[in-house]
């Protein structure tokens, strides 16, 4: 049951008929949608017959008009038992939230630095990672360590190698003053937009929590604005209908930002999409109501920070002194071993963090190094693995990497039953493997590694990711 006070408020805000329509929509089934990996799925992204053959566990309905790789499904499959889901071929992402990519269509994102300030579980992070390319960088922050671990897992599975996952307060990232081309704040909120798909959101809702979230949003926006480069773009979003947390947050921000905020370029929004467009000062706003648009409740706003977009970007990441470096450049032997595992190793820089070898794309390598000296980075680039007697024992993340050189080791192609046994970390039949390390694939998409030793196969799939349901 919807909270009584919520029903009263939306009826007041929208009018009785519109408020009733919204509440009725919140008791209907949620749409199911995915966003495809543009590299792992490739040209099939836009061709329905090829797409259905490429991802047979999914039943595609129609494209999401504001998301180039987004698709509605006719029904919700059992994602847990789809090997393509585990291979990172797609991300299960609510349709409304995919709008953030559309809002950046007039922004030069290739090679950009994007800060996703409240990033878990990673839907928007992986979208931004596909947009910035190998020359760009996404810094994905999550203050909660448990949620940050989930975020890091999803970043590994997406496999683009251009994300750094941090765990810190927004203030620490605000100290990266004028450093990001785009800052995205998907703010913690009262979650009214999730009432349809999450019964707990209804039970946990209260007006007191609305006020608490609004205060937290104000603090985050201050730090986000500090981190944004003059001429850069701010995206603010929530999954609530509450004006105090949506338009109200923007109004409170403009009270102190003043003329520093200016309108962004307008992006086309077809009236048939059902999105309610508006403005709050220089901010362009976009609101999803489930009775109007095919998606959950969602609010987004975008504006630019006044100032020239050109010039030399400041690389000072903190007013405080940097901590002792936690990474070191890989030596010649480690670099040579790492190079044979990647398609274009000349694009990479290789570093050691603790006992793990990592690859960072060259254009942002120094940036990631500086970042890791100032804030806690729990994952960055591509974890290649550990070296034993000069040979690499690959990290599970390397299997998902789009830059993996598959010629570096034999490939074990498993059928559906074998693949699910592998994903459960159960014993798998040795006949599908050759002696030594193997890349484990299903439908041609990598799932991880396994090592055959005689008649036995050592299943190297991470225990933390294994399928535990029947």
Catalytic residues: 239
Question: Bridge-partner residues for 24, per DSSP?
Answer: none
Give CA–CA dist 221/296, Å, rounded: 23
What are the phi and psi torsion angles at 184 (to 5°)?
A: -110, 125
Q: Which residues of 109-135 are buried (b: 16+ CB within 10 A; e: fewer)?
A: beebbbbbbbbbbbbbbbbbbbbbbbe
Q: Which two tokens stand for residue 239?
A: 């999954």
Give CA–CA dist 64/431, Å, rounded: 43
Strands 276-280 and 261-262, sheet pairing: unpaired
Q: Which of 428, 149, 400 is nearest to 140 (CA)?
A: 149
Strands (E), 103-168: 113-116, 137-141, 163-166
Question: Bridge-partner residues for 71, per DSSP?
Answer: 34, 63
Task: Identify whether the C-beta of residue 154 lies closer than 8 Å to the C-beta of residue 91.
Answer: yes
Give CA–CA dist 456/443, Å, rounded: 23
Q: Which two tokens stand for residue 433?
A: 């493997």
Task: Identify whether the C-beta of residue 108 lies closer than 8 Å to the C-beta of residue 178.
Answer: no
What sign has the CA pseudo-torsion 15, 16, 18, 23? positive
Q: Which two tokens stand for residue 296?
A: 């959950």
């Amino acid at each position: 049951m919807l909270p009584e006070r919520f029903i009263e408020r939306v009826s007041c805000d929208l009018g009785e008929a519109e408020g009733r329509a919204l509440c009725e929509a919140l008791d209907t089934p949620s749409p199911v949608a995915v966003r495809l990996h543009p590299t792992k799925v490739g040209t099939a992204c836009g061709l329905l017959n090829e797409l259905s053959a490429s991802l047979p566990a999914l039943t595609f309905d129609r494209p999401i008009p504001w998301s180039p790789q987004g698709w509605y499904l006719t029904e919700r499959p059992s994602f847990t038992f789809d090997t393509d889901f585990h291979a990172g071929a797609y991300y299960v992402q609510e349709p409304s939230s995919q709008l953030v990519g559309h809002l950046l269509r007039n922004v030069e994102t290739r090679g950009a630095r994007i800060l996703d300030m409240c990033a878990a579980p990673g839907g928007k992070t992986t979208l931004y990672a596909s947009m910035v390319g190998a020359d760009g960088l996404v810094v994905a922050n999550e203050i909660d360590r448990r949620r940050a671990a989930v975020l890091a897992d999803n970043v590994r599975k997406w496999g683009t190698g251009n994300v750094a996952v941090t765990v810190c307060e927004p203030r620490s990232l605000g100290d990266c003053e004028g450093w990001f081309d785009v800052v995205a704040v998907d703010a913690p909120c009262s979650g009214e937009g999730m009432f349809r798909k999450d019964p707990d959101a209804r039970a946990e809702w209260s007006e007191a929590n609305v006020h608490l979230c609004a205060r937290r949003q104000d603090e985050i926006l201050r730090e986000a604005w500090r981190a944004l480069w003059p001429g850069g773009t701010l995206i603010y979003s929530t999954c609530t209908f509450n004006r105090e947390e949506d338009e109200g947050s923007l109004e409170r921000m403009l009270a102190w930002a003043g003329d520093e905020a200016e309108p962004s370029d307008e992006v086309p929004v077809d009236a048939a999409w059902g999105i309610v467009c508006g403005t709050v000062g220089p901010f362009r706003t976009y609101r999803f109501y489930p009775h109007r648009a095919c998606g959950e409740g969602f609010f987004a706003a975008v504006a630019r920070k006044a100032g020239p977009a050109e010039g030399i970007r400041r690389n000072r990441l903190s007013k405080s002194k940097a901590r002792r470096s936690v990474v070191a450049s890989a030596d010649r032997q480690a670099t040579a071993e790492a190079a044979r595992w990647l398609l274009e190793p000349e694009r990479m820089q290789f570093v050691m963090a603790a006992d793990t070898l990592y690859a960072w794309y060259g254009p942002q390598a120094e940036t990631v190094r500086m970042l890791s000296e100032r804030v806690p980075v729990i994952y960055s680039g591509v974890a290649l693995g550990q070296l034993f007697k000069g040979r690499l024992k690959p990290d599970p993340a390397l299997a998902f990497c789009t830059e993996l050189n598959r010629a570096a080791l034999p490939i074990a192609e498993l059928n559906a039953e074998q693949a699910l046994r592998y994903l459960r970390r159960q014993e798998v039949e040795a006949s599908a493997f050759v002696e030594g390390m193997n890349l484990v694939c299903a439908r041609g998409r990598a799932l991880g590694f396994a090592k055959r030793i005689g008649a036995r196969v050592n299943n190297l799939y991470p225990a933390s990711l294994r399928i535990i349901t029947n």
